[in-house]
Amino acid sequence: MAEVTVSELATSVGVPTERLLRQMQEAGLSHKSADASVSDDEKQKLLAYLKTSHGDSVAQPKKITLQRKTTTTLKTGSGSGRKTVNVEVRKKRTYVKRDPDELAAEEAEANAAAQAEFEPEEPVAAEPEAKPETEVKAETPAPEPEAAPSEPEPEVVAEQAEPEAEPKPEPEAASARSFVDDIEEKRQAAIERRKAEDAKREAELKAKEDARKRESEQKTKPAPAATAPATPAPDDGPAPIKDDGRPHKRKEQRRPADEDDEGKPHRKRAGKASKKALSGPKKGSRRDLYEMAVEGEDQELLARRRTMRANHKASNKHAFKKPTTKIVHEVDVPEAITVADLAQRMTVKAGEVIKHLMKMGVMATINHSLDQETAVLLVEEMGHKARLVSANQVEDQLEELVVIEGELKPRAPVVTVMGHVDHGKTSLLDYIREAKVASGEAGGITQHIGAYRVPTSRGEIAFLDTPGHAAFTAMRARGAQCTDVVVLVVAADDGVMPQTEEAINHSRAAEVPMVVAINKCDKESADPDRVKNELSAKGVIPEDWGGDTQFIEVSAHTGQGIDELLEAIALQAEILELTAVEDSPAKGVVIESRIEKGRGVVATLLVQQGTLKHGDLVLAGQSYGRVRAMSDERAQQVKQVGPSSPVEILGLDAAPSAGDEFVVLTDERKARDVAEHRAEKERQTRLQRQQAAKLENMFSNMESGQAKTLSVVVKADVRGSLEAIQSALLDLGNEEVQVNIVSSGVGGITENDVNLSMTADAIILGFNVRADAPSRRLAETENVEIRYYSIIYQLLDEIKSALGGMLDPERVETIVGIAEVREVFSSPKFGQVAGCMVVEGTVYRNKPIRVLRDNVVIFEGELESLRRFKDDVNEVRNGMECGIGVKNYDVKVGDQIEVFEVKEVAREL
Ligand code: GDP
Ligand code: MG
């Protein structure tokens, strides 16, 4: 290294040149000027000098104080009991430098003092000045921070090892000594005291805590010791210092060696647990328990409490717990059952059933009636056992009960008269009755009961004098067979007409032999051969033409041929060899029934088997009761009647339907059961039919392949329209779907049509015709759909869309009110005004109307005026009189004004 001048050196060292020069001179160098060069050797010399001189001036420190602060965060507990505790540990340690001789003296003294100690070898006063300060920012007492700088956590064990690890600092003997002694005394006292306390507490704790807890308690034991200066026994309990609640200052840390050897390193938790144990007995057991939990000592307890809470929340609604094992029910499935009933039988909610039905592709409501097949599928689907119950089970039992046994005796035939309207049925029956029944009786028959017996030379004949077709078809519709012979009345001047055909079909279907009465033979225009011809074309061939049907020419007016007719019937009956048991409880059929004021239910029965006696218990359809009174067709009280006898009885609890079978029972309870069962069954089947018979359902039926034909009954006002509609309807079909015209005719819709469509599951299409009141009622009760149209294309369109399954929102026409014209006035001011009585619903001023004459639509339009007394009103309700002016049309007395409304209703499947 090149030599430098003094001034350069001064600059590089950073001191003034003068000072450097002075120092160099003090170091014994000869440099005087700033320009003198300095060699390396000279530099070294200067440095050596400077070192020594500085050493003098900078005295070695006697004491070094080290401070250290650590902050730790403890997390305790979990869940809602979680809390964070910040622990700040401040440590201060002062190291004092001592002279070697001073140290020696100290050591000697220390040794002497140590002899009184537990461990004389240990440098007891190694850290007399170590003065850990603990500041705890939490309610829990701070852990014992020990003078172990390397340990972030106050660790007891590590701390104990400290004295050895301690560097060289020499204890200040005198102060340390006295201090140690002092502490030691206190400690011994504390030990004694605590031992007593511990023994007591131990017993308590042991009782409380289980083995696991006890183990943790053991961990806590060394910790309390930490608070004490020294703890000779492991079960050294709480430190008295704690109880003061002061920050703990510790002058000395001493441990028996054996505690060190206890092995297990004590963890933080143990330290804290100790605090818990300490505070426990003093602060009360609740806090004790709480802390125990918070410490995580009893995680299990906490977890249990949590689950309990969760369970409580979840089960807050009901305390009921669903049984885990499913109960399999044996479910009785009758032929028809509603969703609600089925759900009840399975003891599930109806919603469940509906859900399962949806899965099966069946949309149903709670009141929906299911057929047996669907119900069985559903029951099995839901894991229950289905038990098929024949709806006839009760009936079967009944059949077993009612045994008709005895000697068979010949009985009178039961005859029904049928035929087209106005062909003379009523006249014929009247003639026979008057001539044969009422003959010799003044005033004729006072009470007409709809059936009577006529004596002939070949025995008696029972005539059913009910409106022929209606009774017959109604009975047939109910499956009852009460007629032995049908008398088909055909007017000789009119020939075969639609209802004649119908009658033929009915009797054929019922397999009842026919006797043809060609009526009105007294007329000039009578042409019996024409009738024979036309009937032969229908398959009814006269005997004299080689057939098997008797044709009798009669006249209801002149009485011509009546006896022959009766003979023919009797002959026919003989061929049939009709027999019945006379000597047994009665059985038969209800011909008609009504409710009369003061008399109750009046039912006309036809006894077919056995003998009906006064006082018998009769079960008829859905009604039952004892026969209180019995009268024959002449209104004579009778005590008993035999087979083929019509009789009128009083005593039933409800009006049975025409065609219902009746039986005589002995067990009243059985009768009631059966009656109730039948009522229920009818309710179910009605529901079912309600669903099935609707035109709206045709589409879904077709989709599932159930219905390939749409059965209709067509009635129209004139033959022309009828034929047009018929041919158009037949053209609508294709290979898959067909319109099946069950029946068609001209004129209003009658009960007959309703009965027929009921049996054929058809809908009735009325074209410019209406149903009369009884047939409307029947249609309503039997859920037969009647649709009215006034435009052929509309009719065809709807049927077409029904067929094609494209039912768009449909136009629903609802008749909202009917007014009957009672009088017609002409007023100069208002023109023609009809004095009307509202007989059904409500008549509205602003709704479209139709005028009907004899159930045939003759006008369609709107109202000009609607008045009540002198006031214009918007509506007139049922039973009120009103004045109606029909716009652009003159009504007549007897006309009906029908108010309707047309709504567009979205179709639902
Ligand atoms: P129903 O509708 O079949 O019951 O027929 P009705 O008994 O009401 O008779 C219809 C019409 O035909 C009535 O006006 C009777 O007077 C008439 N009529 C019935 N039988 C005869 C008959 O034998 N000769 C004649 N000339 N007229 C008859
Ligand atoms: Mg008649």
User: How many C-beta atoms surround the C-beta of residue 827 within 10 A?
Assistant: 10
* Together in a domain, 444 and 567: yes
- The 3-state secondary structure of 680-714 reads HHHHHHHHHHHHHHCHHHHHHHHHCCCCCEEEEEE
> Residue 1 — very low, low, confident or very high, per pLDDT cuts 50/70/90?
low
Residue 124 · residue 172 · CB < 8 Å: no
* Residues within 6 Å of ligand 1 by CB: 419, 421-427, 519-520, 522-523, 555-557
Strands 514-519 vs 485-491: parallel, antiparallel or unpaired: parallel
User: How many C-beta atoms surround the C-beta of residue 52 within 10 A?
Assistant: 10
Using DSSP's 3-state secondary structure scheme, residue 606 falls into: strand
* Together in a domain, 446 and 516: yes
Q: Domain boundary residue among 12, 31, 58? A: 58
Q: Which residue has the higher pLDDT, 899 or 138?
A: 899
Using DSSP's 3-state secondary structure scheme, residue 437 falls into: helix
* Together in a domain, 488 and 586: no
- Structural domains counted in the chain: 7
Average pLDDT score over residue span 229-249:
43
- For ligand 2, the distance from its centroid to the CA atom of residue 795, given in whole angstroms, is 32
- For ligand 1, the distance from its centroid to the CA atom of residue 228, given in whole angstroms, is 133
* Together in a domain, 721 and 693: no
Please tell me the distance from the alpha carbon of residue 71 to that of residue 74, in angstroms, as a whole number.
Answer: 10
Residue 271: predicted pLDDT: 43
Q: Domain boundary residue among 549, 577, 605? A: 577
> Residue 474 — very low, low, confident or very high, per pLDDT cuts 50/70/90?
low
Q: Which atom of ligand 1 is nearest to the CA of 523?
A: 26
Q: Whose CA is nearest to atom 14 of ligand 1?
A: 422
Q: Which atom of ligand 1 is nearest to the CA of 555?
A: 23
Bridge partners for 904 per DSSP: 811
647 within a domain of the structure (yes/no): yes
What value does the CA radius of gyration of the chain take, rounded to a whole number of Å?
60
Q: Which residue among 420, 427, 487, 518 is best mutated to probe the pocket of ligand 1, counting the most ligand atoms within 8 A of its Cβ?
A: 427
How many Cα atoms within 13 Å fall on the side-chain side of residue 54? 7
Torsion of CA 837, 843, 846, 847, to 10 degrees: -120
Q: Residue 131 pLDDT > 80, yes or no?
A: no
> Residue 794 — very low, low, confident or very high, per pLDDT cuts 50/70/90?
confident
Q: Which residue has the higher pLDDT, 247 or 725?
A: 725
Residue 552: predicted pLDDT: 93
Residue 517: predicted pLDDT: 94
Please tell me the distance from the alpha carbon of residue 174 to that of residue 180, in angstroms, as a whole number.
Answer: 10
Q: Can you give the CATH number for the domain in which 504 is found? A: 3.40.50.300
Read out DSSP for 305-365?
A: HHHHHHHHHHTTS-S----SSPPPPEEEE-SEEEHHHHHHHHTS-HHHHHHHHHHTT----
* Together in a domain, 304 and 360: no
Q: Whose CA is nearest to atom 10 of ligand 1?
A: 422
- For ligand 2, the distance from its centroid to the CA atom of residue 421, given in whole angstroms, is 7
Q: Residue 176 pLDDT > 90, yes or no?
A: no
* Together in a domain, 528 and 464: yes
Q: Which residue among 417, 418, 422 is best mutated to probe the pocket of ligand 1, counting the most ligand atoms within 8 A of its Cβ?
A: 422
* Together in a domain, 430 and 369: no
Q: Which atom of ligand 1 is nearest to the CA of 556?
A: 23
Q: Which residue has the higher pLDDT, 55 or 828?
A: 828
* pTM for the structure as a whole: 0.43
Average pLDDT score over residue span 505-525:
88
Q: Can you give the CATH number for the domain in which 881 is found? A: 2.40.30.10
> Residue 518 — very low, low, confident or very high, per pLDDT cuts 50/70/90?
very high
Please tell me the distance from the alpha carbon of residue 551 to that of residue 539, in angstroms, as a whole number.
Answer: 13
Which ligand is in closest contact with the Cα of 522?
1
- For ligand 1, the distance from its centroid to the CA atom of residue 421, given in whole angstroms, is 9
Residue 516: predicted pLDDT: 94
> Residue 147 — very low, low, confident or very high, per pLDDT cuts 50/70/90?
very low
114 within a domain of the structure (yes/no): no
Which ligand is in closest contact with the Cα of 519?
1
With a CB cutoff of 8 Å and minimum separation 6, the contacts of 427 are 519, 556, 557
* Together in a domain, 398 and 488: no
Q: Domain boundary residue among 782, 806, 830? A: 806
> Residue 183 — very low, low, confident or very high, per pLDDT cuts 50/70/90?
low
Q: Which residue has the higher pLDDT, 657 or 179?
A: 657
When mean pLDDT is compared across 253-262, 281-290, 345-354, 832-841, the lowest value belongs to 253-262
Q: Residue 112 pLDDT > 70, yes or no?
A: no
Residue 654 · residue 637 · CB < 8 Å: no
**95-99, 398-402, 445-449, 643-647 — most confident range:** 643-647
84 within a domain of the structure (yes/no): no
* Together in a domain, 889 and 759: no
Q: Which residue has the higher pLDDT, 246 or 747?
A: 747
220 within a domain of the structure (yes/no): no
Query: What's the domain range around 296?
Result: 267-312
Average pLDDT, the chain: 74
Q: Which residue has the higher pLDDT, 456 or 234?
A: 456
When mean pLDDT is compared across 43-47, 131-135, 682-686, 696-700, the lowest value belongs to 131-135
Q: Which residue has the higher pLDDT, 854 or 164?
A: 854
- For ligand 2, the distance from its centroid to the CA atom of residue 140, given in whole angstroms, is 110
> Residue 66 — very low, low, confident or very high, per pLDDT cuts 50/70/90?
confident
- For ligand 2, the distance from its centroid to the CA atom of residue 726, given in whole angstroms, is 28
Average pLDDT score over residue span 291-300:
58
* Together in a domain, 627 and 486: no
- For ligand 1, the distance from its centroid to the CA atom of residue 858, given in whole angstroms, is 28
Q: Whose CA is nearest to atom 28 of ligand 1?
A: 520
* Together in a domain, 418 and 566: yes
Q: Residue 554 pLDDT > 90, yes or no?
A: yes
Q: Which residue has the higher pLDDT, 35 or 181?
A: 35
Using DSSP's 3-state secondary structure scheme, residue 674 falls into: helix
Q: Whose CA is nearest to atom 6 of ligand 1?
A: 424
When mean pLDDT is compared across 359-363, 397-401, 484-488, 499-503, the lowest value belongs to 397-401
When mean pLDDT is compared across 243-252, 572-581, 615-624, 709-718, the lowest value belongs to 243-252
**What are 588-605's pLDDT values in tens digits?**
988 877 777 788 888 889
Give the closest residue to 490 by CA, choosing from 553, 396, 573. 553
Residue 681: predicted pLDDT: 79
515 within a domain of the structure (yes/no): yes
104 within a domain of the structure (yes/no): no
Which ligand is in closest contact with the Cα of 422?
1
119 within a domain of the structure (yes/no): no
Q: Residue 3 pLDDT > 50, yes or no?
A: yes
Give the closest residue to 134 by CA, choosing from 191, 188, 91, 102. 91
- For ligand 1, the distance from its centroid to the CA atom of residue 571, given in whole angstroms, is 26
Average pLDDT score over residue span 81-86:
75
- For ligand 2, the distance from its centroid to the CA atom of residue 426, given in whole angstroms, is 4
Please tell me the distance from the alpha carbon of residue 103 to that of residue 348, in angstroms, as a whole number.
Answer: 96
* Together in a domain, 851 and 736: no
Q: Which atom of ligand 1 is nearest to the CA of 421?
A: 2
838 within a domain of the structure (yes/no): yes
